[in-house]
Amino acid sequence: MSIHLTINGIPVEVEAGTSVLEAARKAGVRIPTLCYHPDLKPFGSCGLCVCKQEGSAKILRACATPCAEGMKIITHDDELYEVRRTIIELTMSTHPSSCLTCVRNNKCELQKLAIEYGVREQPFEERIRERKVDDSTGVIVMDPYKCIKCGRCVQVCQQLEGVYALDFIGRGDNTTMSPAANLPLNSSPCIKCGQCVVHCPVGALYEKDDVGKMMKAIHDPTKVVCVQMAPAVRVAIGEEFGMKPGEISTGKLYTALRRLGCDYVFDTNFGADLTIMEEGSELVDRIKNNGVLPQFTSCCPGWINYIEEYYPDLLENLSSAKSPMMMQGAITKSYFAEKAGIDKKDIYSVAIMPCTAKKDEIRRPISAYEGGDVDVVLTTRELARIISQYGIDFENLEESEADSPIGEYTGAGTIFGVTGGVMEAAVRTAYNLVTGKELDKVEVESVRGLETVKKGTVDMGGVSVNVAVVHGMANAKELLDEIREAKKSGKKVPYDFIEVMACRGGCIAGGGQPIGTDDEVRTMRSNGLYTDDEKCTLRRSHENPSIKKIYSDYLEKPLSHKAHELLHATFSEKPLYKD
């Protein structure tokens, strides 16, 4: 049913349930917000989106007011301007004006508002509580000194991720967004997904900066720096240089990494193709030999942290395959090192990731090599910063190719970065493993898109494989509870293979990606990866000639002893609170 209303006299027609804020955007009127985020339920803590109805003195919050037939909304007049300006000034009085040294300088929503409203002086006395920075995770840094208490991080952690590491602790002036019992974030159930970071409007949450580690290795003449980059990085990093979300900059990235001084440039997409060979074979093995089903994907470190804490009883369902990043790191220090005649101790393995949890993952005791399969992880944002600092004109950079023999990838590898992509890639190869034939149509439409839980059945030569794809950790709960119940009561679980990604939309919207992600941006970045897939001549992991070669020359076959040594891992139960 549609509803008709006017916004500042402009007629708009909207669906029932639309908020005044969304209706205004439709009418081309932008109401300022600070706590509102389209990913979250309206919360109404900042009060910036105030508006009123014609003939009424009552002030409404546009984010939390549903449209009604015949409404005549006023969003901008002198009174509303004054209210908003006061809110901005009051918020600024509780926030340090250290913009120049802030990680979010130029990408801060409060700063933007101060610019928009022309705030030239602070009329209110500064009143900021000294609070300690929490960098206990070594991955995500929380600086409560800069927190404006909008509550987005708490909402993200609870609504989107279902993790409940954070809540509003204390009251009034003493309120902080913190873990329970004054614990450091690292002792809390935090899964390090970093969604709090990308949703924070200011600089109160950010990634631990590891740029220095990479540059130190680059400047060390004894080190051979080998770098890999994840699929999702190539469709997002351009945004940091004024390009559109979804523009594919694979070739530019290779060039930029070489210009920074990396010795070998590889691609995590190769690792993704390798993952499919291992994980796909594991799935087929489980199906054929009555193994534990459903099999869960294991590439997302946020998800791994979550299942270890919240569903340890389902760990036997988790694929033992390491993530593409860890596989790529392991073969860099083994297969590649041996081929190139480099001592693996001299290799410094760098990974560029759209993800903060990847920084956590490399500390897991799952590396094939002492010191780690991957030595350092930089997020997309960190790489963009260093590219700028080195004066590299990214947008106009010439393209180049990745290095052999572990840089070549198929379309299946590149779609790993989007929700449904791992499933689709696995189906393309599993079909071949089961039937010995190739799928005519490689696209699996039923697992694409932003719907939170996607289910489908794939026919593999007479064998029906029931699959499900879920993204946004909180959305997995229902599915996991269903599986837990079925297992407990000895019923057949109605799924064979389940892909889980902690972030809404998948890695393209990960916690390490450029700030400013919403569903529109998610769709554009996803389309970028699907375009990259379509452009590939080879779109099935098992067709990758470099993959065929690594098996014939080195790993023998999927799930071989050597493959297990290098490419598989075990995961174990973790307590929710670790102190």
Which span sits near another protein by CB under 8 A: 38-46, 180-188, 254-262, 436-444?
Answer: 180-188
- Percentages helix, strand, coil for the chain, rounded to the nearest 5? 45, 15, 40
DSSP for residue 348: E
Are residues 458 and 429 in contact, defined by beta-carbon separation less than 8 angstroms? no
Contacts 24+ apart (CB under 8 A), 253-259: 253/229, 253/352, 254/399, 254/400, 254/401, 254/402, 255/397, 255/398, 255/399, 255/400, 256/383, 256/387, 256/392, 256/394, 256/397, 257/227, 257/229, 257/352, 258/400, 259/390, 259/392
Residue placing its CB nearer to another protein in the complex, 163 or 326: 163
Candidate residues 58, 120, 171, 441; the one interacting with another protein per rule CB under 8 A: 171
Candidate residues 168, 244, 459, 519; the one interacting with another protein per rule CB under 8 A: 168
Nearest C-alpha neighbor of 204 from the set 502, 515, 517, 501: 515
Distance CA 330, CA 347 (A): 11
User: Amino acid identity, residue 149?
Assistant: K
Are residues 405 and 339 in contact, defined by beta-carbon separation less than 8 angstroms? yes
Smallest distance, another protein to C-beta of residue 470, A: 20
Smallest distance, another protein to C-beta of residue 526, A: 31
Helix (H) or strand (E) holding 501: strand 497-501
Candidate residues 64, 90, 99, 180; the one interacting with another protein per rule CB under 8 A: 180
Smallest distance, another protein to C-beta of residue 170, A: 5
Written in H, E and C, the secondary structure of 445-491 is HHHCCCCCEEEEEEEECCEEEEEEEEECHHHHHHHHHHHHHHHHCCC
Residue placing its CB nearer to another protein in the complex, 189 or 372: 189
Which span sits near another protein by CB under 8 A: 174-182, 225-233, 322-330, 503-511?
Answer: 174-182
DSSP for residue 332: I
| Neighbouring C-beta atoms of residue 520, cutoff 10 Å | 10
Catalogue the E-assigned strands of 200-292. Answer: 205-207, 224-229, 264-265
Question: How many helical (H) and strand (E) elements, i.e. helices and strands, does the chain have?
Answer: 19, 17
Residue placing its CB nearer to another protein in the complex, 494 or 575: 575
Distance CA 54, CA 34 (A): 25
Smallest distance, another protein to C-beta of residue 201, A: 21
**Binders of another protein among 210-249, rule CB under 8 A?**
none
| Neighbouring C-beta atoms of residue 395, cutoff 10 Å | 12
Candidate residues 179, 194, 203, 505; the one interacting with another protein per rule CB under 8 A: 179
Distance CA 18, CA 3 (A): 9
Which span sits near another protein by CB under 8 A: 178-186, 318-326, 406-414, 421-429?
Answer: 178-186
Which span sits near another protein by CB under 8 A: 28-36, 173-181, 299-307, 311-319?
Answer: 173-181
Smallest distance, another protein to C-beta of residue 336, A: 44
Which span sits near another protein by CB under 8 A: 162-170, 230-238, 267-275, 548-556?
Answer: 162-170
Smallest distance, another protein to C-beta of residue 477, A: 12
Nearest C-alpha neighbor of 403 from the set 264, 214, 213, 547: 264
Candidate residues 89, 135, 167, 313; the one interacting with another protein per rule CB under 8 A: 167
Does the footprint of another protein cover residue 181 (CB under 8 A)? yes
Smallest distance, another protein to C-beta of residue 187, A: 11
Q: How far are the Cα atoms of 52, 228, 234 from residue 385, in angstroms, in the given order?
A: 43, 17, 15
Candidate residues 35, 102, 166, 325; the one interacting with another protein per rule CB under 8 A: 166
Smallest distance, another protein to C-beta of residue 171, A: 5
Nearest C-alpha neighbor of 306 from the set 136, 164, 168: 164
Candidate residues 18, 91, 188, 228; the one interacting with another protein per rule CB under 8 A: 188
**Binders of another protein among 483-522, rule CB under 8 A?**
none
Residue placing its CB nearer to another protein in the complex, 169 or 538: 169
Which span sits near another protein by CB under 8 A: 161-169, 380-388, 437-445, 528-536?
Answer: 161-169
Mark 560-579 with x for binding to another protein (rule: CB under 8 A) and - for no binding: ----------------xx--
Residue placing its CB nearer to another protein in the complex, 63 or 165: 165
Does the footprint of another protein cover residue 170 (CB under 8 A)? yes
Structural tokens at position 288: 């054929």
Are residues 245 and 205 in contact, defined by beta-carbon separation less than 8 angstroms? no
Residue placing its CB nearer to another protein in the complex, 340 or 576: 576
Which span sits near another protein by CB under 8 A: 42-50, 74-82, 129-137, 159-167?
Answer: 159-167
Residue placing its CB nearer to another protein in the complex, 3 or 476: 476
Mark 104-143 with x for binding to another protein (rule: CB under 8 A) and - for no binding: ----------------------------------------
What is the longest distance spanned by two Cα atoms in the chain?
Answer: 80
Judged by CB under 8 A, how many residues of this single chain contact another protein? Answer: 16
Per-residue burial over 44-65, b = 16 or more CB atoms within 10 Å of its CB, e = otherwise: ebbbbbbbbbeeeeeebbbbeb
Residue numbers at the binding site for another protein (CB under 8 A): 158, 164-171, 179-181, 188-189, 576-577
